[in-house]
Amino acid sequence: MPVSSPPPAPRPTPTDAFPTSTSQTQAETESILLQHIPSNADAKQGLAKQSHMQFLVRSLVQGFPSRYTSQDASQPWLLFWTIQAFSALQVGLDPGNKQRIVDKIMAAQHPDGGFGGGPGQAAHLLPTYASICTLAIVGRPGPGGGWDQINRKKMYDFFMSLKQPDGSFLVAHHAEVDVRGIYCLLVTATLLDLLTPELVSGTASFVASCQTYEGGFSSASQPYYAATPSPSPSPPPSSTSDSTTSAKHARRLLEKPRPPLGEAHGGYTFCALAAWVLLLPFRETEGEQDAQPKIDVGNLLRWLVMMQGTEIELGGFKGRTNKLVDGCYSWWCGGAFALLEALGVGGAGSSAPPAGPSSGEEEEWDDMDGKMVFYRVRFAPDTQAARLIDTLFNRKALQEYILYAGQHPAGGLRDKPPKNADAYHTLYCLSGLSAAQHRISVATSRREQLRKAWVAGASQDTKISESTLPEEVRMKVFQEALAWTEEEGGSLIVGGTENRVSLIMFFAFTRRMQNATHPVFNLTITHSEGLMSYFYGQNLPPRAK
């Protein structure tokens, strides 16, 4: 069989005859990336699972290298990045290592609620998320298992003590507001059955206010208050709030202006969009649709698609406009498209432009066979067109970036060559690879299964707040979080099935285990189901094969 000749070299990014230090760095990056394209067009690039597993094992067993000293306040994150990467590679841990991790995580629980970055450190929303997700993977009910040792009441009080009058949250006491912290709080509260009306009051409006003119989201927005006090402050200050927060609650928050602070960013955008999806069960019960906060979904989609690199960038994602591609955005940007589908953009059954303010550019949308196709899905060969009709980004190109440029020869995954591998990029490259390989969506059939199996009133015994969710909303939170299902026939695996991550497994032909990555939590669906079913007091019905 004749060997295919290499394709012509991709076109470099134009400089408009005005080179800058930024364009020179871009050109250098493109030159390095080109060297990682296989010279033989028929060559298959494998996912070096064994090497990546050994890279992760070295860190877990021998300890992280000295360069991780700066991450002392991120110890739960180091564990989460490592063991969730194991999950993506279908690697299980032995009971001894699981218990070591549980003990390490529980040592970081703060006596006043939440988790810190290590033993004795202040509680913070970000390591709280990492701690709970880690316990979802290695923990269990019962003595020493971690789940029953989580102080949910104090954690809820900690969350409320961070609540701000504009619906946002500080990431820690005496710290800043950051939409990433809101994502971490909402995921934790969803997993542990801690959501209440007072906790999420005003939060959707804050998230919407962080959207920038580009379409992506920034870290926060600037609130403004009326000069005259509000006759009925809402939401009320919590009993643990300080006097400054209480004073702010006495002022009336202005609906406008609420300008976003900073530029659109891939990490902020994923967190804002995931938070928006988690808040949907509350927004659907908040009265008139016209009075609810809105985001410009069409502009958001355009921005996300534009973050995918061109052919010379191997289809990787960048995190901001005019920046370099980076493997971690395979998840922060590439993983966001499934969340858009949860809002009705793209995917099966979508036949109308996305809801939201019109951008005045209707010609950018095309209806093809009942699927929304964005013209900006770029450089896809005609032979791939049929596979890309029902997707919003170039899944094949993203996988090629991770396989060609993201893998370090010594194991682990990285930002881009010639950088070293690290735990952070190893996880988010693998999570992005999973998002590109598998189509995960909220399945109506699974939602109905969960609704029929719901047992009203079942929960953990601890009362966390006087503010409680209506049972219908609580059920909806549960079913929307766990109705995510991998679409049959929706996989696209570059390099052969041996490169597949996050397998679906069958046990004794009776149980179907979903090990695909949950688009909101970045856990496997199976681990998400295990933790939520325990804290909501529900028995999950088996998934249909």
Active site amino acids = 265, 320, 323, 326, 328-329, 415, 422, 425
Is beta strand 365-368 parallel, antiparallel or unpaired with respect to 371-374? Answer: antiparallel
Q: Taken in order 57, 62, 66, 71, is the CA torsion positive or negative?
A: positive
Is beta strand 225-229 parallel, antiparallel or unpaired with respect to 251-253? Answer: antiparallel
Q: How far from 492 is each of 52, 181, 378, CA to CA, in Å?
A: 22, 33, 17
**544 with 445: CB under 8 angstroms?**
yes
DSSP string, 22-63: HHHHHHHHHHHHHTTS-SSTT--PPP-HHHHHHHHHIIIII-
The single-letter DSSP state of residue 405 is I
Which residue has 């939520």 as its token pair?
532
Query: What's the rounded Cα separation, in Å, for the pair 264 and 360?
Result: 21
- Encode burial over 370-390: b for 16+ CB neighbours within 10 A, e otherwise: ebbbbeebbbbeeebeeebeb
CB neighbours of residue 94 within 10 Å: 8
Q: Is 72 exposed, middle or buried (0-12, 13-18, 19+ CB in 10 A)?
A: exposed
Q: How far from 510 is each of 181, 298, 445, 488, 545, CA to CA, in Å?
A: 39, 42, 18, 18, 8
Name residues whose C-beta falls within 8 Å of residue 373's C-beta, 6 or more positions apart in sequence: 365, 366, 367, 388, 389
Q: How far from 541 is each of 351, 454, 472, CA to CA, in Å?
A: 31, 10, 19
Query: What's the rounded Cα separation, in Å, for the pair 60 and 150?
Result: 23
Compute φ and ψ for 252, nearest 5 degrees. Answer: -90, 120
Cross-strand pairs, 116: 123
Reading the block at residue 392, the tokens are 């919003």
What is the number of residues in the chain? 545
